[in-house]
Structure 1
Amino acid sequence: MTTHLSVHDIEQETTQWLEQVVIGLNLCPFAAKPQRNKQIKIEVCEGTDDQTVMDCLLAELTLLDTSDAAELETTLVVTPNIFQDFDDYNQFLDVADMLVDQFGWRGIYQIASFHPNYCFADVEPEDESNLTNRSPYPVFHLIREASIEKAFKYYGGNAEDIPQININRVCGLSETEKKTLFPYLFRATPHR
């Protein structure tokens, strides 16, 4: 199933999620500064097959590798036309990780995962904790490991506590707040 929205609309919806959910709820305490400094790239990959997504991920990882972090800190590769099924997306993550290994980028870059139907292992799909990783579209977040290490040095809390803090935060949202922050989860006919 492919989306009928324009690339611009997909970028806007992803930016809104980034600003209102990821940054607004402080799910990633390190995202506000790069967003403010326009160092986060949102790349919409319109492909409908694995190879096209692999090519897009490779291109974006190469761009990160040849760019200064002061110019490009991180990239969100959004795939609106493929991986609607979370299990398919999750299996493809292994392939994406192999790409990181193949090019010798292990320890330099990592891929974080977000999906409209994200489900943690050993958690029911309807569990509210999954909201921490639910995005409007399937997203592969390409992250510089050096930036994470640098951010942790300045982080005031314990980094290991972040996942539980995030779960508590999303589980504490009212139904109205959830519908406002995650409107794509409440559509009668999702476009994903």
Structure 2
Amino acid sequence: MSTQQQAERQLRAWLETVVTGLNLCPFARPLLHSPALRIVCCAAPDTPDGLEQMRLQVLEELDLLQRSPEREIATTLLAFTAGLIDFDDFLDFLDLANELLIEAGLEGHIQLASFHPDYLFAGEAADAASHYSNRAPLPVIHLLREDMVERVLADYPDPQSIPGNNIARLNGIGREQLARQLALLRSS
């Protein structure tokens, strides 16, 4: 099995068991088995050349998403299979990706969400279960169409309650169980 296939399998399992399975994102379910969900991998390492490859891949995915009709590509998960393993390095690259989005004139059209195996929210205890709302088997930058996000939020009753509901749900499951689940996803 190729790295791309393994990464896609891990991410689809994560989407099914965590993101939609725990209803962390009530909007994800319709796209789960849609061909409009694009999952792509970047196998570049954390080297100067690798970081340039990552930068170019972000630009390519931004361009492809903004040029494609929503029915063909609604959203993109860009997974990093060899680089950005360190969470601080990932955050630095996420800052760069946001700068690229702005420089491309796509602010207000595309937004980035981030997921990482070691995701930590600032100001939260390191062992808080809430971190698992943004933990994934691989480092991932999620490229979302802002107009699509606005449409689904407009149709959802009380979208402001989603983060609080997620924290309560994750606390109810417990950090130990969530850590086991993530470890299983990462090893699959």
TM-score normalised according to structure 2 size: 0.90
**Segments of 4+ moved more than 6 angstroms:** none
CA distance in 1, matches of 2:171, 2:33: 27
Deviation at 1:178, TM superposition (A): 2.6
Q: Look up the match of 1:42.
A: 39
Q: Look up the match of 2:90.
A: 89
Which string of whole-angstrom CA distances, capped at 9 and with x for unpartnered residues, describes residues 18-51 of structure 1? 1111111111111111223332111011111221
Change over 3 Å in CA distance of 1:115–1:176 after alignment to 2: closer
Within 5 A, what are the aligned runs for 1:57-68?
A: 57-68=58-69
- Are residue 10 (structure 1) and residue 13 (structure 2) matched? no
Q: Indicate the structure with greater helix content.
A: 2
CA distance in 1, matches of 2:108, 2:60: 18
Deviation at 1:123, TM superposition (A): 1.3
2:129/2:175 contact within 8 Å kept: no
| Alignment length (residue pairs) | 184
Q: Unaligned stretches of 5+ in structure 2?
A: none
Q: Look up the match of 1:168.
A: 168
Q: Unaligned stretches of 5+ in structure 1?
A: none
1:117/1:125 contact within 8 Å kept: no
Change over 3 Å in CA distance of 1:18–1:159 after alignment to 2: same
CA distance in 1, matches of 2:181, 2:61: 28
User: Kindly, what percent of the aligned residue pairs are identical?
Assistant: 36
Deviation at 1:180, TM superposition (A): 5.7
CA distance in 2, matches of 1:179, 1:71: 34
2:20/2:29 contact within 8 Å kept: yes
1:116/1:136 contact within 8 Å kept: yes
Change over 3 Å in CA distance of 1:166–1:176 after alignment to 2: same
Which string of whole-angstrom CA distances, capped at 9 and with x for unpartnered residues, describes residues 49-106 of structure 1? 2211111111111111111111111000000211111111111111100001101000
TM-score normalised according to structure 1 size: 0.88
Q: What root-mean-square deviation, in Å, do the aligned CA atoms of Structure 1 and Structure 2 show? A: 2.2
Q: Look up the match of 1:120.
A: 121
